[in-house]
Structure 1
Amino acid sequence: MSEPIATPVCAPQDPIGRSLFFLSRTFAATGGLVLVAVSIMSVFSIASRALTGNAVLGDFELVQIGSAVAVAAFLPWGQMRGSHVFVDFFTTGLRPCMRARLDGLGALLLAICAAIVAWRMTIGTVDLRASSETSMLLGVPTWYAYMLMSPSFALLAATAFYTSSRKFREQPA
């Protein structure tokens, strides 16, 4: 808990790591743009409600979809940077090599979970498209959000597998 908030980002040097780093950063930037768009729409809706008494139709639906897509897009970047929350209360007294092994195991478990989520979201996308389910007010097909989030979870799985393998390979003495 003593490390600085803005730790420097060291890009991996191997080709796979560089590719995952670039993709993760691109996904995060795209997620940021989605959040900016959602924020602008929210401000416009609130101002419209205050001035005219009418909000943007379906503003809650758009915030819900946009926020879900954005949060999913940020996850791989957090994994590549090693900036996800760690509960290190019980491991602070362990040797660095043991902490690295536990970090590698944690990343491996995250990779497995993210791969399962990506797989199930992809199947959910197909099912929702077949059932033609839509949002209540705007009639936006529900599968759009799933389709936009599935690649983020697949990338999270790839980045977590990568960081896990790095932790197991580069263990301190």
Structure 2
Amino acid sequence: MYLTLSRIAGVVARLLALAGGALLLAIVVLTVVSITGRALFSAGICCGPIRGIYDYTEISVGAAIFAFLPWCQYMNSHAAVDLFKSAMPDVLNRFLNVLIDIGMLVLAALIAHRLWLGLLDKQRFGETTLIAQIPVWIGYAACMAGAVGFVVVAAFCVIRSGRGLIWKDARTEPLS
């Protein structure tokens, strides 16, 4: 059962990270096209920059950041201060890992909940971006995929660290 959960969490994290990377690559290409169009337009050759590129960039980068959070959690790659870790007993370190993972799960759930409420609020009031007039709730919806994935992966990480607390030799690092 644990290996199945680990594989599911790993696949969710990996797919979201790949989607976030693809999104960043797409926005880089659009930005290059827009800048090239602006330069060629000023030379009288082309049609100009992409209208609303700032809006597209803002939405895409936010969604990509949320898409990377599950992978970061799954790989235990969040920032950590390990100053006293080597001086503490192993059982205390494993207990702290459980507490940290529970804290990350609570934080992930809180972020997803607040993002959902923000999405509903933006949808209800019909707010749009300034230039391209994209409904703002679409950006929130794009971020929700990563936020929900973050909750799923964080829940698995609590199981993983709890398992590591009970069985010292249990596999507690992510499967790559």
Q: Normalised by the shorter chain, which TM-score bucket?
A: 0.7 to 0.9
Query: Paired residue for 1:37?
Result: 26
Corresponding residue for residue 90 of structure 2: 96
User: 1:130 Cα deviation (Å)?
Assistant: 1.1
| 1:48-127 paired onto structure 2 within 5 Å | 48-53=37-42, 54-127=48-121
Give the 4+ runs in structure 1 shifted more than 4 A: none
Of 60-69 and 97-106, the range deviating more from structure 2: 97-106
Amino acid at match of 2:55: E
CA-CA distance at 1:168 after TM superposition: 2.1
Letter in 2 for 1:168: G
Q: Please, what TM-score do these two structures have when normalized by structure 2?
A: 0.85
Matching residue within 11, 29, 51 for 1:22: 11
Kindly indicate whether structure 1 or structure 2 has the higher relative contact order, using CA contacts under 8 Å at least 6 residues apart.
2
The superposition leaves residues 88-144 of structure 1 with CA deviations (integer Å, 9 ceiling, x where unpaired) of 123231122211221221111111011011111112111211110000000000000
Corresponding residue to 1:169 among 149, 163, 170: 163
The CA RMSD over aligned residues, in Å, is 1.7
Instruction: Name the counterpart of 2:151.
Output: 157
Larger radius of gyration: 2
Gaps of 5+ in 1: 1-11
Give the SS at the match of 2:86. coil
**TM-score if structure 1 supplies the norm length?**
0.86
Q: How many residues align?
A: 162
C-alpha distance in structure 2 between counterparts of 1:133 and 1:20, whole Å: 34
Question: What percentage of aligned pairs have identical amino acids?
Answer: 27
Q: Kindly provide the amino acid, as one letter, of the partner of residue 136 in structure 2.
A: T
Contact 1:118-1:151 within 8 A present in 2 as well: no
Task: State the distance in 2 between where 1:142 and 1:90 align.
Answer: 44
